[in-house]
């Protein structure tokens, strides 16, 4: 998986999965262009990846995407690989009490943000000679969530976005796939455990449903993403890939 000379654009880069994936791609030779929200604390990321280009932007803003692509091309070249990964979990609230604004907030980042990324980066990869895109969905993109309707709906939508983008950009040499992590050791899972009001009991319940008997690590998600972004995955296209320790058996 030699990625020397390749440029990888990563959103949600300062988060757990974004950082682990950026580190793995960089270790294989890729130049990283990292995107996260204005005001992000980049210190740990920049310590680990001093050569990365850092861009502060909001994935829900189309103007920000124009800037992301032009800065990427001007400062690093490419892009050849795109990890369209920024996402939020939203609040845990029973379906019938879910405020419309909260539903829309989650859809904004997880659907509109992913759509805008594909719209602007897909053609840029084609113009750079082709490459690959991985969108981050979730096991929640394959199952409902009675108290996380926005999150579950948004992650289902990522499958539709991936398939549509695969049809749009595949003929121009851009492969597009989605990854579906299960429960990963992370701030996001801790926040969901806390919000459930059951804390460790929720965690124990999750673990008992996971065949592997544990939460996954961000580095295990990164391995799948790096494979799908690499030329080794040359015939993997328009599909979805789980990394969930056997939780869903889809």
Q: Which residues are catalytic, by number?
A: 151
Residue 27 in contact with residue 4, Cβ under 8 Å?
no
- Kindly indicate which of the ranges 26-34, 115-123, 177-185, 225-233 contains the residues binding ligand NAD, using the contact rule CB under 6 A: 177-185
If one asks whether residue 233 binds ligand NAD (CB under 6 A), the answer comes out as: no
Q: How many residues bind ligand NAD (CB under 6 A)?
A: 27
Kindly report the backbone phi and psi dihedral angles of residue 243, in degrees, each rounded to the nearest multiple of 5, phi listed first.
-140, 85
If one asks whether residue 111 binds ligand NAD (CB under 6 A), the answer comes out as: no
Kindly report the backbone phi and psi dihedral angles of residue 24, in degrees, each rounded to the nearest multiple of 5, phi listed first.
-70, -45
Cβ-proximal residue to ligand NAD, closest one: 15
- Kindly indicate which of the ranges 84-92, 97-105, 194-202, 230-238 contains the residues binding ligand NAD, using the contact rule CB under 6 A: 84-92
Residue 200 in contact with residue 157, Cβ under 8 Å?
no
The upper half-sphere exposure of residue 29, i.e. CA atoms within 13 Å in the direction of its Cβ, equals 9
Residue 171 CB, nearest approach to ligand NAD (Å): 27
User: Which position among 83, 181, 225, 233 is part of the footprint of ligand NAD (CB under 6 A)?
Assistant: 181
Q: How wide is the angle at C-alpha 48 spanned by C-alphas 236 and 42, nearest 5°? A: 95
If one asks whether residue 187 binds ligand NAD (CB under 6 A), the answer comes out as: yes
Q: Output 87 or 131, the one with its CB closest to ligand NAD.
A: 87
* 197: Cβ contacts below 8 Å, ≥ 6 apart: none
Q: Output 15 or 131, the one with its CB closest to ligand NAD.
A: 15
Q: Output 211 or 234, the one with its CB closest to ligand NAD.
A: 211
If one asks whether residue 138 binds ligand NAD (CB under 6 A), the answer comes out as: yes
> End-to-end alpha-carbon separation of the chain, Å?
27
If one asks whether residue 190 binds ligand NAD (CB under 6 A), the answer comes out as: no
Of 2, 25, 9, 1, nearest to 135 by C-alpha is 9
3-state secondary structure of 194: helix
Residues in 139-168 that interact with ligand NAD by CB under 6 A: none
If one asks whether residue 86 binds ligand NAD (CB under 6 A), the answer comes out as: yes
H or E element, residue 74: helix 62-75
User: Which position among 1, 37, 93, 195 is part of the footprint of ligand NAD (CB under 6 A)?
Assistant: 37
User: Which position among 52, 68, 189, 222 is part of the footprint of ligand NAD (CB under 6 A)?
Assistant: 189
Q: How wide is the angle at C-alpha 142 spanned by C-alphas 137 and 144, nearest 5°? A: 110
């Amino acid at each position: 998986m030699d990625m020397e000379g390749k440029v990888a654009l990563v959103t949600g880069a300062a988060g757990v999965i974004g950082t682990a994936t950026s580190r793995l791609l960089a270790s294989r030779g890729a130049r990283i262009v990292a995107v996260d929200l204005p005001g992000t604390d980049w210190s740990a990321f920049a310590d680990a990846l001093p050569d990365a280009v850092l861009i502060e932007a909001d994935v829900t803003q189309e103007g920000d995407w124009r800037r992301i692509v032009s800065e990427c091309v001007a400062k690093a070249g490419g892009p050849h690989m795109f990890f369209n990964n920024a996402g939020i979990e939203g609040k845990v609230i029973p379906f019938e009490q879910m405020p419309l604004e909260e539903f829309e907030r989650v859809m904004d980042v997880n659907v509109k943000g992913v759509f805008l990324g594909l719209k602007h980066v897909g053609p840029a990869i084609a113009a750079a000679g082709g490459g690959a895109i991985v969108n981050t969905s979730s096991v929640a993109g394959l199952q409902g969530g009675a108290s996380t309707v926005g999150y579950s709906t948004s992650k289902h939508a990522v499958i539709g976005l991936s398939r549509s983008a695969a049809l749009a950009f595949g003929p121009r040499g851009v492969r597009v796939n989605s990854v579906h992590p299960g429960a990963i050791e992370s701030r996001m899972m801790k926040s969901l455990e806390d919000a459930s009001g059951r804390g460790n009991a929720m965690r124990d319940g999750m673990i008992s449903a996971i065949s592997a008997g544990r939460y996954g690590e961000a580095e295990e998600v990164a391995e799948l993403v790096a494979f799908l972004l690499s030329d080794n995955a040359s015939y993997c296209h328009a599909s979805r890939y789980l990394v969930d320790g056997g939780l869903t058996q889809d």
